[in-house]
Amino acid sequence: MDLAPASASAQPGELTVLGLESSCDESAAAILRRHADGRIEVLADLVLGQTEAHAPFGGVVPEIAARAHAEAMDGLAAAALAEAGLSLDALDAVAATSGPGLIGGVMAALMTAKGLALGAGKPLIAVNHLEGHALSPRLSENLDFPYLLLLVSGGHTQLLIAEAVGVYHRLGSTLDDAAGEAFDKTAKVLGLGFPGGPALERCAEAGDANRFDLPTPLKGKPGCDFSFAGLKTAARQIWDGLDAPSAQDKADLAASVQAAIAASLASRTRRAMAKFAEEYPDVDGPRPLVVAGGVAANRTVRTALEAAAAQEGFRLIAPPMKWCTDNAAMIALAGLERLVRGEIDGLDAPARARWPLDAASAKLAPVIGSGRKGPKA
């Protein structure tokens, strides 16, 4: 590929990493520099979406996504280097999502990173996509460990305690569908187009969130797990039962579903906050509640979590909107965090469709629900 000439070299103690991401339907490349004082600087941050390619199908088509990633990744890496004014020689490592995700897509970023690392003689860092989300608030916040973490998107809904880089303890996760899937599938039922989550949020702005009576998932059940399949089914049944539904009916149901999802997330997260406070009594208040993943961009969800956090003595921390959805800045950051610790991977690092962030808990408590079997479980 045509690479830009190098800028002035980094100062002693600085580390610079190229990150690549292609786990679903965004191709992305970013370059981050960690200064000697620990400060993170974003030198380049590029994202190429595929909305137009998938819109006619109402969802992400894995084969189309994989082909688009393969066509875009080399050019994105070159463009990121050009934007940062760097050559490959100026990098200290190349990081890429190695999973979980749509396997054809994951391979695009990972194989590109392997080629660049091999050609330039740089270390490769295979990043767990979920860890990228877990660390993403550290792109803009001076956030110390430990913290309570809610990972919530179209492929996963999990509550974890982040104890350190690479050390996560799972408190709960979805028993069936992820929260983002409930948003997306309801949007499809309502004919709102793709991507469904943002479309449903826009539609809900004109709706009455109190009009339709929707079930409360896992009401009265102990623990920190989630469930959204019943809520999604109830919304479909309501819609199918309406006689010639109007635009207002559509907006009211969108608002009702959004409010129900937000309330469920807040309610179950309250339980996790109590557990975190019990396990870490010495963490100064307000304690950190981090929310990350695509659903973290939803304003109703953020408002519900902010209120719950304030009532429990926590402070809600979320990355800026541009780093809630899939991006390469979070992958480069995860790569930097691991590089600092001397954790690098061989060129035989595998692409993985499934890669639980909390591998120990996943092994001890296997589950069968589709939510945890999904591509980003």
Average the pLDDT over each of 49-58, 111-120, 297-306, 332-341 and give the range with the smallest value.
Answer: 49-58
Percent of the chain with pLDDT over 70: 92
Q: How far apart are CA 298 and CA 156, in angstroms?
A: 15
Domain boundaries, the chain: 15-136+324-356, 145-318
pLDDT surpasses 70 at 9: no
pLDDT of 136: 94
pLDDT of 377: 47
pLDDT surpasses 90 at 3: no
pLDDT of 362: 60
pLDDT surpasses 50 at 368: no
pLDDT surpasses 50 at 229: yes
Average pLDDT, the chain: 91
CA Rg value for the chain: 21
pLDDT of 19: 98
pLDDT of 372: 41
DSSP assigned state of 178: -
* Homologous superfamily of the 15-136+324-356 domain (CATH): ATPase, nucleotide binding domain (3.30.420.40)
pLDDT of 59: 83
Task: Report the greatest alpha carbon distance in the chain.
Answer: 69
pLDDT, tens digit, 9 for 90 and up, residues 119-140: 999 999 999 999 999 999 999 9
Neighbours of 2 (CB within 10 A): 8
In the sheet with 26-34, reading across from the earlier edge strand, the strands are 40-49, 26-34, 15-21, 93-99, 124-128
Give the mean pLDDT of 238-256: 97
Give the mean pLDDT of 69-79: 95
DSSP assigned state of 247: H
Q: Do the domains 145-318 and 15-136+324-356 match in fold?
A: yes
pLDDT surpasses 60 at 373: no
5 versus 272: which is more confidently predicted? Answer: 272
Say which CATH architecture domain 145-318 belongs to. 2-Layer Sandwich (3.30)
pLDDT, tens digit, 9 for 90 and up, residues 33-64: 999 998 999 999 999 988 888 888 888 898 99
pLDDT, tens digit, 9 for 90 and up, residues 177-220: 999 999 999 999 999 998 899 999 999 999 999 999 999 999 88
